[in-house]
Structure formats: C-alpha cells, structure tokens
Amino acid sequence: MDDDYAAALALLLLIKKKQQKKKRLWSRDWLKKRSEESVQFRLFRKLKAQDPDTLRQWTRLNDQQYQELLCLVTPLIEKQNTNMRQAVTAAERLTLTLRYLATGECYRSLSCQFRISHNLISSIIPAVSKAIYQVLQPLYVKLPSTTEEWQKVAVDADCKFMYVDVGACGRASDGGVWDKCSLKQAVESSLLNMPPAENIPFTNRKCPFVFVGDDAFPLKEYLMKPYPGRGESTATRIFNYRLSRARRTSENAFGILATRFQVFRAPIRTTPENVKAITMAAVALHNYLIETSRDTYTPPDFIDREDISIGRLNRGQMYQHASAGVEKLHAIGRGHSNLAKQVQRVFQQ
C-alpha cells in the first residue's frame, strides 16, 4: 500500500512539473514584425528611392543590377506562404545574402537586422549563393573554348576569374593542390583548344602561349614561374620583374574580390560545402560587376597600376583595406623538364 501511495505521489509531481515547464515559443515577438521593422522594408526601400549610391555600397549592386539578378534567381529561391506564417520573400533572401557577402556579418547580427531567425539564415545564404552562381556562371564564369577566345584573353586580361577550384584541404601542399586540379589535367590533355605557338613580337622565335604563376607552381612548358632568388644576371632580374608585372592582374583580381566581398576577411564558419557555394557566388558576382559596372566597381585608382614612363608602381585604393588579396604561397622545389627551361629561357631573352 505504501508503495502504491509513493508511486502515485511521484506521478502527480511529474505531471505538475510538466505543466509548469515553459512552452517553447513558435516565434519570438520581434521576429513577427519582419514586415514592419526589417531593413528590407524600411532602410532598403528608402535607400532605393533617396540614395542609390549608398544602396550600391550596401549590396554591391545598383538597383538595375539588383532587379535583374532578382528576376533570375526568384524561380530558384522563392517559397510559398503557409497557413502558419508568411514565407521570407525572394527579395529578402537575395538582399540578406548580398549583405552577408559584402560584410561577412555573423548570422545573429543579420537576424536582428532582417528579423529572420539565425537558424533560417544559415540555410538561406547557401541556397541563394548556389542560385546566384547557377544563373550567372554560364555568362560570366567560363573558360575560353576556342583559339580566338584564348587569344582575346591574352590581350585583354581584366581581373575576371575564368576558372575557380574551391575545396582543397588546408593541409595539402601547394604543389599537391595543383597536381589534383582539373585545370592542370585539361591543359596537359590538350582539351582547352589553346592557340598554337606564335612568334614573340619583334623576333622570329616561336613560343607557346603560357600561364603565369609564382614560386609555388612547378615550371612547365605551359606555365612560367620566376627564377629562384634575386637572379644571377640583369636578364634574369628583368624576366622576374616582367613576370611579376603580368601576375599583378591575378593579384589585383583577388584584392578586388576580398575588398568588395568582405566575407573573405575572416574564417567562414559553416560547412565546406557551404563555403564553396559562398565563394562561387562571390566570384560570379565579381565577374558580373566587372562586366556591367566597371567604372564604379573598379574605378581607375582602385587597383595597382604602373607608371611605365618612370617605372613606378602606384598602389591602388583597395590596399587601404588591410589584407587585400591572398596569402603568398610558399615556393616548392622540384626538377623541371628541359623543354620547360628552354621556354623560360626564350622568354627571358
């Protein structure tokens, strides 16, 4: 009897405890005011009407570009309303993602601004990033496919990314990353329709078209790198200088990307798959903005330029921001083929 009484008492206490337990909120009150207090419906609309320059700085896109991109991605990111709540609109999703790419703000900070839970934000940003890349890549991020297109690139390098490979392990060596890169496999398998060798200007000596790399890359007949050290001769030093000047285009591209999309200024705290999606979206937007608004995206004084008349490098405004660009890769020592050395020697001379 005592045991039955004790069991009944314990059951009553358990029921009372459950009744007193706080119910989990379906949605916090301040999140419910999204249509009234979100930056999308207040600040964004005011900037669009009254201050388009600030709007461009805020999202990196002007209003026309924003509307074009919104039309492209809406079918991929739009969600339907339910009986329980209003769905986050496609415009909100796009603005949120653009703001994240432009600033790298944490999800909780964006949650307060957009009145969207940080858990939902963590799924919105990767999804919209994938959609941005999907719609922009066919037009703005593509390798040349013909000899004529490759020759055009060789003449008009303009800080755009034609090929991007994201996702190598951080502990992998630089040489190991290149060895596994699909671009290397395509070049060595002659799959890129690169133009045949041509005479170097003002000479009758033929040389192949080459990629330009730094000390981290192996010397190949299709890939030029500097001579090690400071160079043993004037010709070697001049070759290294001119190779560095050619490489400045890629350094400028990374500098622009890191300055305009400050999500790259700090570790991106998400999964590797999401990091890849975010990176590819930023690259696609970078190329898109160079194509459609170069004067405002990369004004003349924004990147490094050399005054050839006096041989002086004028640093761009992007270097007013700390850590523009990428870390310098470490040199790798390895044997080089005689053909690669011969091509390097011809360019040197």
Does residue 347 have a pLDDT over 60?
A: no
Distance CA 14, CA 153 (A): 74
Distance CA 298, CA 158 (A): 10
The per-residue pLDDT for 148 is 83
Distance CA 161, CA 286 (A): 8
The per-residue pLDDT for 9 is 65
Q: How far is CA 220 from CA 209, 258, 343, in A?
A: 12, 29, 9
Sort residue 78 into left (φ over 0), alpha (ψ -120 to 50) or beta. Answer: beta
Burial environment of residue 171 by CB neighbours within 10 A (0 to 12, 13 to 18, 19 or more) = exposed
The per-residue pLDDT for 29 is 61
Does residue 124 have a pLDDT over 60?
A: yes
| Alpha helix (H) residue ranges in 231-301 | 234-260, 272-297
Instruction: Tell which wins on pLDDT, 326 or 256.
Output: 256
pTM, whole model, 2 decimals?
Answer: 0.80
Instruction: Tell which wins on pLDDT, 4 or 165.
Output: 165
Instruction: Tell which wins on pLDDT, 127 or 167.
Output: 127
Instruction: Tell which wins on pLDDT, 278 or 344.
Output: 278
**What's the mean pLDDT in 43-69?**
89
Does residue 324 have a pLDDT over 50?
A: no
Q: With residue 211 as reference, give the H or E element that holds it.
A: strand 211-212
Instruction: Tell which wins on pLDDT, 285 or 157.
Output: 285
Confidence band (pLDDT; 50, 70, 90) for 129?
very high
Asked which of 53-67, 99-113, 138-152 is least confident by mean pLDDT, the reply is: 138-152
At 73-121, the pLDDT tens digits run 999 999 988 777 788 999 999 999 999 999 999 999 998 888 888 899 9
The per-residue pLDDT for 2 is 59
Average pLDDT of the chain to the nearest whole number: 80
Instruction: Tell which wins on pLDDT, 54 or 150.
Output: 54
The per-residue pLDDT for 304 is 65
Instruction: Tell which wins on pLDDT, 150 or 331.
Output: 150
User: What is the bridge-based pairing of β-strands 223-224 and 211-212?
Assistant: parallel
Confidence band (pLDDT; 50, 70, 90) for 209?
confident
The per-residue pLDDT for 89 is 92
Q: Closest by alpha carbon to 252, among 216, 297, 312, 285?
A: 297
Distance CA 307, CA 38 (A): 48
Confidence band (pLDDT; 50, 70, 90) for 195?
confident
At 263-305, the pLDDT tens digits run 998 889 899 999 999 999 999 999 999 999 988 898 877 766 6
Confidence band (pLDDT; 50, 70, 90) for 147?
confident
**What's the mean pLDDT in 184-205?**
85
DSSP output for 46-76: HHHHH-HHHHHHHHSS-HHHHHHHHHHHHHH
At 211-269, the pLDDT tens digits run 888 887 888 888 888 888 765 688 888 888 888 888 888 888 888 999 999 999 888 98
